[in-house]
Amino acid sequence: MAGYNLAELHEALITPTNPITKRMRAVFYLRTIATPEVVPILVEGFSTDSQLLQHEICYVLGQIHLPESEAFLISALQNETLEVISRHEAAEALGAIGNLRFLPILQAYSASPIRELAETCQLAIDRINWLQNPEEIPPSPIILSIDPAPKFAAQLTIPQLKEIYHDTTQSLFNRYRALFSLRDIGTDEAVLAICEGFGNQNFSALFQHEIAFVLGQMQEKAAAGIPYLIQALEDTSNHYITRHEAAEAIGSITDSPEALGILEKYKNDPAEPVRSSCFIALDISEYWFKNE
C-alpha cells in the first residue's frame, strides 16, 4: 500500500475476501490522505459484514472531519439496523467534527435506551458546546487525535484527577476530561489510576471502552495496564465494545508471548468485533515491535 494509490486502497478495502488486517490498514492509510476523495471510498467500505470495520470507518471520518462525510455519519447514527458499535462511533465522529447543527440529532439520541449510544451522544453534545468557548489546551505529548473530550487546561495532580474520574455526580464529559489528563501525564501511577475504572460498576461499558482505547494510545507507556486489559478481554460478561478495545490496546502495547497467546485464544470469539480486533491487535503488535 506504499505510495497511497487510491485505486489500490479502494480495492483493498472493498474486497470482502481480503483479510480484516489488510482492509483495516487501507482505512488508516486513507486517514493519512484525508482529502475529500477518500470519503466515498470509506463510505463504500462501510457496506461490510464487519461491525469492527464499520466502527473504524466512522472513527476515521470523524478524525479527518471533512464536510463531505457529515450526511453519511448522520444516516449511520439514525440507522437502527446497525449494531451499537457502529452507531456510537458515528455519533462520536459528529462530536469530533463539532458542528452546532448536529445538536438536534444528537439530542434526539441522547436519551436512547441503548446506554452506549445515549452516553456517546451526551459526550458529543458537551464537546460541541465546549467548542463554542474553548479553553486554551496544551497539545498532547502522546497523541494528536481528536478526543471525545479535551483534557483539563489546568495542571491537576493525579489525586485531584482521580477524584473527578471516580465522581459519578460529575458529568461524563468531565470524567472523560480527567481520563485524557491522566493519559497525558503518562506515568505508571497515572496508568494504574486509569485502570481503576476496569470492572468498576461506576464506569459504564462505554467508559471502560474509552479507558482501553486510551491505554492503547499510550502504547509502551501503558505496560502497567496489560494485566487489566487482559482481564477485560477475558471477562466474557463485559460488553463486546469494551473487550474489542482491550484486545486492540494489548497489541499496541506489547509483544510479550503471554499477551499474544491471549489474543490468539480469542481469535475465534463469538463476537465479531472481538475476534476481528484480536487479528488486528496481532498485526499491530508485529508492526510496532517486530519491525522497529
DSSP output for 168-216: TTS-HHHHHHHHHHHHHH-SHHHHHHHHTTTT-TTS-HHHHHHHHHHHH
Q: How far apart are CA 91 and CA 110, in angstroms?
A: 10
Residues 6+ apart with CB under 8 A from 149: 123, 126, 127, 130, 173, 174, 176, 177, 179, 180
Residue 11's contacts (CB-CB under 8 Å, 6 or more residues apart) are: none
- At position 204, the amino acid (one-letter code) is S
Neighbours of 264 (CB within 10 A): 12
CA distance 186 to 189: 8
- Closest among 289, 245, 246, 194 to 51, alpha carbons compared: 245
Question: Binding site: which residues?
Answer: 55-56, 88-89, 209-210, 244-245
Quick one: residue 288, left, alpha or beta (phi over 0 = left, psi -120 to 50 = alpha)?
alpha
Known binding site for Fe cation: residues? 55-56, 88-89, 209-210, 244-245
* Cβ neighbours around 85 below 10 Å, total: 24
- Helices 70-78 + 51-64 axis angle, to 10: 140
C-alpha cell at 182: 491522566
CB 248 within 8 A of CB 280: yes
